[in-house]
Amino acid sequence: MATFAELGLPAALVTALAKTGITEPFPIQAATLPDSLAGRDVLGRGRTGSGKTYAFVLPVLARLAASGTQRKPGRPRALILVPTRELASQIDAAMAPLARALGLRTLTVFGGVGANPQITALRRGVDVLVACPGRLEDHVRSGHAKLDAIEVSVLDEADHMADLGFLPGVRRLLSLTPADGQRLLFSATLDAGVNVIVKRFLTRPVTHSVDSAQSPIDAMTHHVLHVHHDHRLPVLVDLAAAPGRTLMFTRTKHGAKRLARQLVSSGVPAVELHGNLSQNARTRNLDAFSDGSATTMVATDIAARGIHVDDIRLVVHADPPVEHKAYLHRSGRTARAGADGTVVTLMTDAQVADVRTLTRKAGIKPTTTRLQAGHPLLAELAPGERTFVVRTTKAPVRAQAPLSSPAPARGGNGSRRRRKPASGGSAAARSSAKRSSAKRSASNRPASNWPASTRSSSKGGAAAFSSGSRPGRRTR
């Protein structure tokens, strides 16, 4: 396969890539780079995890570096539209070191966070803007962003944009960009909604299809575990307690929150990711999962497209998805960038018909096994020694206390000393004092069943997992 330099990438970008450990292009990059670097409109189709991000980031940076156009306040030079906040952040994280090496400035724009820092950054001038449609339209309407200086536009995860109903906003935004600008569109599938965008905004696009989104990934093994409803949680705990990163999916936000709490209570460092969390909590939990302080993430379908974390060894559909496309996108979080991976779907008696239809439409032939916790197959699917964090209530510590509060008196065994009431006074007064003391004790007791995302910690995420308890480790 050709090298990045042979594909036409500028030497400065080749060097910057090498510093990040990237020296060889993936197939979709090798296929699209000659055309995108030549300034043509490109329609790229490839499955999730095929390397699409660098396939558009590299030509965008190369074009801006070569054009020599100066950035202007409120007028970005390149636009990358994405469906989710997490995807915007991760694209920017991959692009930022390369952009800095070329003297280019990047910015992410999405909802769920304050608009003022984004407005300030836009005023300073930005080269590449990575944005979700909704918040960008807000900035355009308020006059803080103008798209008339865009040299190249990118639409990533176009099919997911269509699924979420974002295409009307995408059309409005792209219509504000210069008609003669370069446009790149990347998608796992080319549904009807995506074709509308292609016909309206791309000029004689060169199409590259690396593989079909309908075909199973060769390096991915698929299993369906037929379990009784009462055995569902023990099986999930068993899988999550194995070494490595595990990503579990539920259908609802409430289900993700509940399962994360159940895993934490069982000794598995877990965090949650869903739409009910604030952006700060989502970022904190994703960071914990990325740096390994939380080994399991429980997510809704927002994460099927929204996260790109390396080395996820196991994807578990704790709740089978409704559509086969969701199954493929969820499963695509593992077996990325040439690695292998395992996908497990839990199925109860009531879900047999739905799961059979789902896997047939997804084009996979999973191995189906009826089992319960302790079955030998679980150790094959998630090999390694099971490890749990032991939580105790001895010597509880508040997550945060007012700086002016005096430290509570403690006994030699680490427990709080309860002040004795004065020997004088009535029996009623002494009884009242006991009740007050009991209330104070209850209010200071740590909520040991809360997941990491709801605990206060300076490090956030799973670092708060053992806050308020004395951690230990046990294995089996």
Shared fold status for 11-209 and 220-389: yes
| Distances, alpha carbon 35 to alpha carbons 20, 43, 147, 369, 417, in Å | 24, 10, 24, 47, 74
pLDDT in tens, 367-416: 999 999 899 999 999 999 999 987 654 433 333 333 333 333 333 333 33
Angle, vertex CA 360, rays to CA 357 and CA 365, nearest 5: 125
Instruction: For residue 128, give the H/E element and its range.
Output: strand 128-131
What is the structure's pLDDT at 466? 32
* Topology given in CATH for the domain delimited by 220-389: Rossmann fold (3.40.50)
What is the structure's pLDDT at 20? 87
How buried is residue 438: exposed, middle or buried, by Cβ count under 10 Å (0-12/13-18/19+)?
exposed
Neighbours of 262 (CB within 10 A): 17
Residue type, 437: S
User: CA neighbours within 13 Å on the CB side: how many for 209?
Assistant: 8
DSSP secondary structure, 168-213, as one string: HHHHHHHTTS-TTSEEEEEES---HHHHHHHHHH-SSPEEEE-S-T
| Distances, alpha carbon 231 to alpha carbons 9, 234, 347, 376, in Å | 53, 6, 11, 15
What is the structure's pLDDT at 392? 52
How buried is residue 339: exposed, middle or buried, by Cβ count under 10 Å (0-12/13-18/19+)?
middle
User: So where are the chain's domains?
Assistant: 11-209, 220-389
Does CATH number 3.40.50.300 belong to domain 11-209? yes
Query: With a cut of 70, which residues of the chain have pLDDT below it?
Result: 46-50, 192, 211-219, 303-308, 335-340, 391-476
Helices and strands: H and E segment counts in the chain: 17, 16
